[in-house]
Amino acid sequence: MPLPADRTALDLLDAHLEALWDGTDLPLPQGPVSLAAEGGGELVHWALDQLRCIPCEPNDAFGRQVGSLLWEFRYRRCPWNAAALRLLDDTYTFAATGPRRYEEWARDVRAVLHRSVPDPRGWVRLDWDRTNATRRTVPAYPFDPPESSQLPGRLYSLEAEAAVAALAIMAEEWQSEPAPVRSRPDRDAVLADARTLLDRYGPTARYWTNATTAASDPAPDFLAAGLQGTESHGFLTSEYLNGLDFLEDLGLIAVSDDEVGVFWSFGAY
């Protein structure tokens, strides 16, 4: 089934802005721009007008302004994007959703970790290492995921509200966090954003985490422990690449009949 025209236009413009931000596209190639403008609505035309006003030189300034435009475009696109950007864009996290194609959902999770499938709805993915050259050596970097047959054995089931709290504390830093979510004045807003993200997967979604505290309790109090008080089975590469050691991580996986969502927080040095 073909995508609706407005969805196609949004996806085209998102990809174009991302390529400009990465420095892999020309400032105004007529193909994607004209196709997006032809099928796009108000948001597409607003973003194209903003893009045309950005000076093409100097290159570094152009890249920064395109990055800001891309952030605003994604933020305005849908409430899910806005919640993801508010909650996780300021911390070293990975957030991506892929299609559910196999009964053995671990295969779908591995596809997301390897960035080999797109978001089924064209919504935002947060991935600091998307263009990291280290991925030529470790394709799933910074992950080193087990084989799909072994992956479920490294995870523990979570109840829905515990999953919300696990995702919420990913807004914290692993080291020297001055304001844990539990004590923030916007605590309820942070939890609401986490709930918005997980609502995407529907009321029958199942949740798993690599946090060892869930081994004996599917409803641990992640909020009280905070990110620094949470121990987990590691899913990250142990190789010293790109100047970073990965020593801590917390992951959350959501599985519905149609999609798998992967959210991960990294402690790197």
For 88-122, how does the pLDDT look when each residue is reduced to its tens digit (9 = 90+)?
999 999 999 999 999 999 999 999 999 999 999 99
| Cβ atoms 31, 11 nearer than 8 A | no
Q: How far is residue 38's CA from residue 45's CA, in Å, rounded to a whole number?
A: 9
The per-residue pLDDT for 137 is 86
The pTM for the full model equals: 0.92
The per-residue pLDDT for 31 is 56
Q: How far is residue 110's CA from residue 10's CA, in Å, rounded to a whole number?
A: 27
The per-residue pLDDT for 1 is 43
The per-residue pLDDT for 239 is 75
| Cβ atoms 180, 226 nearer than 8 A | yes
pLDDT-flagged residues of the chain (< 70)? 1-5, 25-40
